[in-house]
Structure 1
Amino acid sequence: MAKKVVRYHLVRHKWPDEIEAEKKIKKRRILTVAACIVFFIGGFLSNNVWSKSTSATSDEDFKKFFDIYQTMSTNFYFGKDKDDLKDTLISGAINGMVDAGGDPHTMYLEPTQSKSFTSSMEGSFVGIGVSYFEQSKGVFIISKVYKDSPAQEAGLMSGDQIYAIKGKPVKDLTIDEVADMIKGDTGSKIEIEIVRENKHIKKTVERRKVNDSVLSSVNGEVGILEIDSYAETTGEEVKAHLEDLKKAGCKRLVIDMRDNSGGYLTAVQDVASYLMGPDKLIFKEDDKNGKVTDYKTKDVEQYTFDKLVVLVNDGTASAAEVLTAALKQQMNATVVGVKTYGKGTVQIPVTFSDGSMFKYTVGEWITPNGDKINEVGIEPDVEVKLDPALTLGAPKLDEDEVYKPDSVSLAAKSVQTYLKFLGYPVDRTDEYFSIASGEALKQYQKKMGMEANGNIDSKVITSLLSSISQEWNAHLDQYDTQMKKAVEIANG
């Protein structure tokens, strides 16, 4: 079975929130409508034509807005303390208007955010083949290393901390600046210094094209198909992997969509078509006027299996939930894991000439059986939970934030849970950091070559996350109880 990375559920990471610095935006934006505007299913994109509609808003309303804007930009006392006051006011007005709708999935994305999002949905990229997140300020942790990627070949692993790139420490960089340093031309090499369990290691990695949305492996007669997202190339990638699994003699299939937060509707239709056959209902879309549109599979080659099992968790959302429900209700697939996220709304994107984007909700999707899953999710047929250490959030601590034994904090819950998973003698796993747990932490710190003071800080949490990843990867068959159950059901 192919190894996976530990899945950190620190918070529900919405990529726009990764960007801390405010970006300049132009005061005036000219709406750009492409020949084929794409629309989002559950927060992502699919091909469909979008027609611009206008609403009559009185000149008086706009006059009030511009009067306030003009007054703020010329007479506001604290304006003298603001860089680029006019751009800041416009950005604030746009976000305020968007937020006033009360819909978390209707949002305005500034140019850098829009570019990052669009790039993430292309399905392939030139890089080294890792995903990472900012665990605390300036501390970047690799959360996933893609199979057959340059990063995997170089020996990078999930849980590694990116410490320096090309000899430059990254502690003062933003997550986008780190990405810019990692990117480069195909064939070029980059030196990355990582920290693994408190040890510094340097790796030289060659950049090349990486496909990041689909992986597969074989377990006896069971094929394992892992779909991370529904990107532009996912449909054709899934077809290629299904061909390989069939050639390998796989009669049953496990589709792993844990932490798959969505993708292109066209990709979902392609994947569903390969598994369900032609003219099968995938989902329905209900718009604001009550019009319901059916979306069905295409007439393409179908890959049949004796048993289908779908693996999900609380990070399985939107388009991934579409396929989960369709396979469950139309193909009698067994769903294993924990309840899905529950993202069942449809968004349309509008792109502006400066590269920014506005996406807004236009409808809600419904399962083939008529169920709405928005803010509800999909319950598994067989519930299987991973060890709490593998799903519990790691708090972000400031560099000078420290918790000593006999104190109460969210960090204590995480650290004590991590220590228990690693076999250290903690006496509790709640928010109270006990004296006994402090002694257990000292044992861990001593083993890692750290100062054995028994205190919780950001370095301790980073090291523990690395240790958990090492343990997970070394004993995957033992700890991935969800996959184990899915394969068992497939074989049954």
Structure 2
Amino acid sequence: MNTFFNKRVLGAVCLFTFLFLLCFSGDSQVSALDRGTYKQLKVFSEVLDIVDKNYVEAVDSKKLIQGAINGMMKVLDPHSAFMTEEMYRELEVETKGSFGGIGIEITVLKDVLTVVSPIEDTPAFLAGVKAGDQIIKIDGQPTKDITIMEAVTKLRGPKDSKVTITIMRESLPKPKDIVITRAIIQIKSIKSRMLEDSIGYVRISSFQERTADDLKRALQELRGKQTSPLRGLVLDMRNNPGGLLTQSIEVSDAFLRAGTIVSTKGRIKSVESRAVAKDDGNEVNCPIVVLVNEGTASAAEIVSGALQDNGRALILGTQTFGKGSVQTVIPLEEGAALKLTTAKYYTPGGRSIQAEGITPDITVKYIKPAEENGEGNNAVRERDLKGHIKGVDNETKKPLELQKRVFDDVSQDNQLKAAVDILKSWDVFQGSRKI
């Protein structure tokens, strides 16, 4: 028997139990639950002891405990996860917008690793990876039962190294291997240009540390190119998987003079908050049309909901993803961390985004150009994820179509063309709307 192992494990379990009871000892309603939990922890320590004494091979206590924690997270929702020290470092790198990898947003759908969206101009995007692709192998190893954080670790790596993903797609007769050369993914979250008739276009592909500052610079450049004020602005957030909450608030504030941007509500008071717009005199004053689709998630949905509920923009496209939960990252000992869902986002009008998404003011389904015909529809939304947190019962949403790609050519992008047409006739359009 490994005495050191037993003392360390049982000591850790007892310490956890003590801290757990200490945190909630003042709440009589929780005390009964604590007693039940304590009994289960005794079972847990007993199982560890039995495994240590009887398993056919020597066991690694760290792996056993991490496996138990991973199992605990798996019974929650798809976005809660235990992160090893390496995984935690990867998360910190990702929020800075520069990392070695292939450039995709992934989730687990019905126990299968699935692509939510490839990030524009990255190796995965250029290799032809599509939203909805199912990744069944990474470098020949099956992805069954893999966690999102484990997959991220396998997919990322040094610049110029290669990784092979095996995908399944509705339009493909059999699985397909795609060899991708990793690169330093430096996400340029803002792209902008002038369209016709003094109408500006800003594309936000994700919400990173510099997104709000980059947006302000892009808006200044657009204004500088015009001798007259902007007639309108298209804010394109299609296939934007989200990112930092703080950046979504700052981006929303760039278009609002007053009003609530977003609020969060959870089981405990400490996670509740409300962000309010501030009038700094630099807000964009022209009419705005926001483009969204099923790949619009999280922080991008917060911006869409804030502009919609404050009557600041018209939302055009298809139903968004519906990722409206708040994850708090809690550092642990030895460099590990826990990413735990602690609250839900609510729009200024009190709507829950979770599993529902944002309903466009005008639904315009994406029409694929001839070169994209034949591709399957693999749309993925939050409500499809195993163990997703249910949202508040908002209105029933309509069936969805997946936009596969954003086109620079307005004539090739029917949703962008519709947005431009609305802005060109904004006064007439506003006069005909039902108030």
Q: Which TM-score applies when normalising by structure 2?
A: 0.63
Question: What amino acid sits opposite 1:315 in the alignment?
Answer: G
SS in structure 2 of the partner of residue 349 of structure 1: strand
SS in structure 2 of the partner of residue 316 of structure 1: coil
Q: CA deviation at 1:131?
A: 5.0
Partner of 1:213: 189
How many angstroms apart in 1 are the aligned matches of 2:118 and 2:323? 23
Residues 219-298 of structure 1 mapped to structure 2, 5 A cutoff:
219-220=195-196, 221-249=198-226, 250-277=230-257, 279-289=258-268, 293-298=273-278
How many angstroms apart in 1 are the aligned matches of 2:310 and 2:90? 35
Cα shift readout 1:22-46 (whole Å, capped 9, x = no counterpart): xxxx97999xxxxxxxxxxxxxxxx
Question: What amino acid sits opposite 1:253 in the alignment?
Answer: L
Q: CA deviation at 1:295?
A: 1.3
1:121–1:232 CA contact under 8 A, matched in 2: yes
Q: CA deviation at 1:382?
A: 1.3
1:315 partnered with 2:295: yes
Q: CA deviation at 1:350?
A: 0.7
Q: CA deviation at 1:301?
A: 4.3
1:242–1:303 CA contact under 8 A, matched in 2: no
Tell me which of 75, 84, 89 is aligned to 1:115.
89
How many angstroms apart in 1 are the aligned matches of 2:335 and 2:192? 35
How many angstroms apart in 2 are the aligned matches of 1:283 and 1:74? 53
Q: CA deviation at 1:129?
A: 9.1
How many angstroms apart in 2 are the aligned matches of 1:374 and 1:132? 18
1:371 partnered with 2:351: yes
Cα shift readout 1:108-130 (whole Å, capped 9, x = no counterpart): 2333333323222113x266995
Partner of 2:62: 87
2:103–2:185 CA contact under 8 A, matched in 1: no
How many angstroms apart in 1 are the aligned matches of 2:104 and 2:40? 45
Question: What amino acid sits opposite 2:23 in the alignment?
Answer: T
Residues 14-29 of structure 1 mapped to structure 2, 5 A cutoff:
none
Partner of 2:53: 74
Question: What amino acid sits opposite 1:115 in the alignment?
Answer: R
How many angstroms apart in 2 are the aligned matches of 1:355 and 1:300? 40
Distance change in 2, residues 1:355/1:213 (3 Å): farther
How many angstroms apart in 1 are the aligned matches of 2:139 and 2:256? 48
Q: CA deviation at 1:311?
A: 0.7
Corresponding residue pairs, total: 338
How many angstroms apart in 2 are the aligned matches of 1:255 and 1:372? 22
1:337–1:482 CA contact under 8 A, matched in 2: yes
Q: CA deviation at 1:133?
A: 7.9
Q: CA deviation at 1:265?
A: 2.1
Partner of 2:339: 359
How many angstroms apart in 2 are the aligned matches of 1:474 and 1:267? 25
Q: CA deviation at 1:380?
A: 0.8
How many angstroms apart in 2 are the aligned matches of 1:245 and 1:370? 34
1:287–1:364 CA contact under 8 A, matched in 2: yes
1:129–1:210 CA contact under 8 A, matched in 2: no
Partner of 1:392: 377
Tell me which of 416, 419, 431 is aligned to 1:483.
416
SS in structure 2 of the partner of residue 217 of structure 1: strand
Higher relative contact order (CA 8 A, sep 6+): 1
Q: CA deviation at 1:286?
A: 2.0
2:120–2:205 CA contact under 8 A, matched in 1: no
2:84–2:337 CA contact under 8 A, matched in 1: yes
Cα shift readout 1:404-425 (whole Å, capped 9, x = no counterpart): xxxxxxxxxxxxxxxxxxxxxx
Question: What amino acid sits opposite 2:339 in the alignment?
Answer: K
Q: CA deviation at 1:241?
A: 1.0
SS in structure 2 of the partner of residue 260 of structure 1: coil
Partner of 1:443: none
Question: What amino acid sits opposite 1:94 in the alignment?
Answer: I
2:291–2:415 CA contact under 8 A, matched in 1: yes
Partner of 1:464: none
Q: CA deviation at 1:317?
A: 1.6
Q: Which TM-score applies when normalising by structure 1?
A: 0.57
Residues 457-472 of structure 1 mapped to structure 2, 5 A cutoff:
none
Distance change in 2, residues 1:62/1:28 (3 Å): closer
SS in structure 1 of the partner of residue 343 of structure 2: strand
SS in structure 2 of the partner of residue 364 of structure 1: strand
